[in-house]
Amino acid sequence: MLRPDNRVKYPEVDLKLGIKSSLPSVKATLGLLMMFWRASNNPDELAYSKEAGNSIEVSDELRTKLIEKYHPIYSSIGISDEQFLERVNNNQLFKSQLESLIVAFELIWRVAKIKFDNNMPASSERTGGKRYPKTLLFTKNMDILDTVLSSDDEQYSKVLLS
């Protein structure tokens, strides 16, 4: 006889992270997170960035996937691949500190956990303006959002791109 698995106990989220954390352009940031997930075929985990001097930019593999998935839509309104990638790399997923992204994605929307690719503390980006490569760990809420919104893939993609 099979029995259900024990309930998984997740560590408590550190609520002090929500103090004085702001994230500008929240719609664009959430939209790009969803675009990453869809273009990568709904992964559990995604290393989305690479180092570029003191900043980060979209990884080469994800860059290719984004262009393959969204090129037909953005090119139809006259946006080139280079312009599209420039907008991607100027998103808060690449500009904001890890702690602000944690507040938005983990505490508020609960769609993904975000961490550095290495084991640095979350406060590493507070000073100096340097950004480090990050990885997204998606939650089941992404599946739920996608199920609700994906009845028309092309229209859904247009909304995300806007």
Q: How many Å apart are CA 71 and CA 88, to the nearest integer?
A: 13
The 10 Å CB-count burial string (b at 16+, else e) for 11-26 is eeeeeebeeebebeee
The model's pTM: 0.86
Q: Domain of 90? A: 25-152
| 58 is a domain residue | yes
Q: Binning pLDDT at 50, 70 and 90, where does residue 8 land?
A: confident
In sign, the C-alpha dihedral spanning 26, 30, 36, 39 is: negative
Q: Domain count of the chain?
A: 1
Q: For the segment 100-141, what is each residue's pLDDT rounded down to a tens digit?
A: 899 899 988 999 999 999 888 888 898 778 999 999 999 999
| 5 is a domain residue | no
| 12 is a domain residue | no
Q: How many Å apart are CA 30 and CA 126, to the nearest integer?
A: 22
| 106 is a domain residue | yes
pLDDT of residue 65: 98
| 161 is a domain residue | no
pLDDT of residue 122: 83
Q: For the segment 13-63, what is each residue's pLDDT rounded down to a tens digit?
A: 665 555 656 889 999 999 999 999 999 999 999 999 999 999 999 999 999
| 160 is a domain residue | no
pLDDT of residue 73: 95
| 94 is a domain residue | yes
Q: With contact defined as beta carbons under 8 Å apart, do 157 and 70 qualify?
A: yes
For Cα atoms 159, 28, 161, give the angle at the middle one, nearest 5 degrees.
30
Q: How many Å apart are CA 108 and CA 24, to the nearest integer?
A: 14
| 62 is a domain residue | yes
